[in-house]
Amino acid sequence: MLFNSWQFFVFLAVVLALYYSLETLPQNRMLLVASYFFYGWWDWRFTSLLMISTIFDFHISIAINGATDQRRRKLLLLVSILVNFGMLGFFKYFNFFIDSAAHVIQWFGLQPHLPTLRIILPAGISFYTFQTMNYVIDVYKRKMKPTNDFLTYALFVSYFPHLVAGPIIRAEVLLPQLLRKRIVTNEHLNTGGALILIGLFKKVVIADVLSPDVEPVFAAPHAFSSLLLLNGLYYFSLQIYCDFSGYTDIARGVSRLLGIELPENFNQPYLSRNITEFWRRWHISLSTWLRDYLYIPLGGNRRGRARTYLNLFITMLLGGLWHGARWTFVAWGFLHGVYLAAHKFYLELRSPAESARSNWLLNVAKVFVAFHLVALTWIFSGHLISQPRSPISWAFCTGMGGSTCWRSPAPFGSCSSCWRSICPNTSPKATPSSCAGRGSSAALPIPR
């Protein structure tokens, strides 16, 4: 059930009508039923997977909290990690690793005979796995005590506004709100409605409108001039931001109508002056999760320069893989790792005088450079490139930089009907107006 579908707004109207007529405890029970209905709308069979994860982590967190022996506590944490990431790995990465192994075997001239399974990726599994893991880890570190209220914990995991597209909510933020009495004020209604409208505008008016003009450029970059490739990259950068942040705005708005506050997940990331600042503004709930539960446990910046850079690369590579099971996502994470390491190295070398120097023109230049560095990584993000080993990313880069590609193209939008007909088998010498075939204009996928 998509946030921008009429079915969702019928569902939301029913939920709000029931919610406002109930007290806190019945509200939570109703929201839990509604959340499972919302999740099961896509495929009811995967509600059992969500329930298994919920029941398992509810009981293991209580066991961890009650254990006095540190070795037993570590063992229980390890079991939780293996079970949670085992389920995520099987559903999301099994065929990815099997296919990768098959390609390696083929490189040695052998014919692989490896098993493949037709696995359906459960919606939102990446989000709720990270959410339950941060709960268990925080209980293990004694940062919080586990709740004994199973229904409230189950709602914390399955709460429908953020279930399939984030943000990833910490237990310390959401659980207290679910346990206390909630009063919905006019301010909640006004600001919640405004967030929903802003999110719908980003998603429907900007992201979905740009999609048909973006996809042909990524499907056949050799068919376009350098200028059109660059414009396509700008369009995609805007599209992916409006798609993700739009969904988050709708989620925050819907939750605010229920009197529950969700944290901001995107804070004007394209106005960042460097790549480190970008990751403080982009997908904030994911970047802070990776920092607190991966980068810092690996040692962070406490074990010397070389180890710091290694930790950055490991964090960003796994962050890229979290977005999707393709090598293009790994390449995207690798580039961001390079950027972060380079920026950190620069900060270590610059003088105090350089650090203090700042003016509006310099800040504009920094924003310009940071935006284009981020935009370059979107070529490798894999959102529009369906083949893990596809040469399309390289073709896109060489096409943008090729001196023979700067021909006078038709402006964006003037031949969008021709663009939608472009197919991957287009001749390298073709132009947008001369291509034939049938393309796709599907909406940008959200990580699961």
Active site residues per annotation: 323
Q: How far apart are CA 254 and CA 374, in angstroms?
A: 30
Q: Which of 132, 136, 147 is nearest to 50 (CA)?
A: 132
Residue 338 φ/ψ, nearest 5 degrees: -60, -45
Q: How far apart are CA 282 and CA 339, in angstroms?
A: 15
Q: Which of 1, 8, 89 is nearest to 41 (CA)?
A: 1
What letters, b where the CB count within 10 A reaches 16 and e where it falls short, cover 331-363?
bbbbbbbbbbbebbeeeeeeeeeeeeeeeeeee
Query: In which residue are the tokens 């959102």 written?
Result: 383
Q: How far apart are CA 448 and CA 351, in angstroms?
A: 43
Task: Count CB neighbours of 172 within 10 A.
Answer: 12
Q: How far, in Å, are 25, 63, 417 from residue 66 at the CA level?
A: 27, 5, 64
Query: In which residue are the tokens 């063992």 written?
Result: 75
Q: How far apart are CA 362 and CA 365, in angstroms?
A: 5
Task: State which amino acid sits at residue 134.
Answer: N
Q: Are 257 and 192 in contact (CB under 8 A)?
A: yes
3 state SS for 236-255: HHHHHHHHHHHHHHHHHHHH
Residue 171 backbone zone (phi > 0: left; psi -120 to 50: alpha; other: beta): alpha
Query: In which residue are the tokens 């707004």 written?
Result: 9
Structure tokens at 168: 């990833």
Distance of CA 107 to the CA centre of its chain: 32
Helices (H), 112-225: 125-140, 150-158, 171-179, 186-200, 208-219
Q: How many helices (H) and strands (E) does the chain have?
A: 18, 0
Distance of CA 154 to the CA centre of its chain: 23
At 172 the three-state DSSP class reads helix
Distant-in-sequence contacts of 306-309, Cβ < 8 A, 24+ apart: 308/344, 309/341, 309/344
Structure tokens at 265: 């997940």
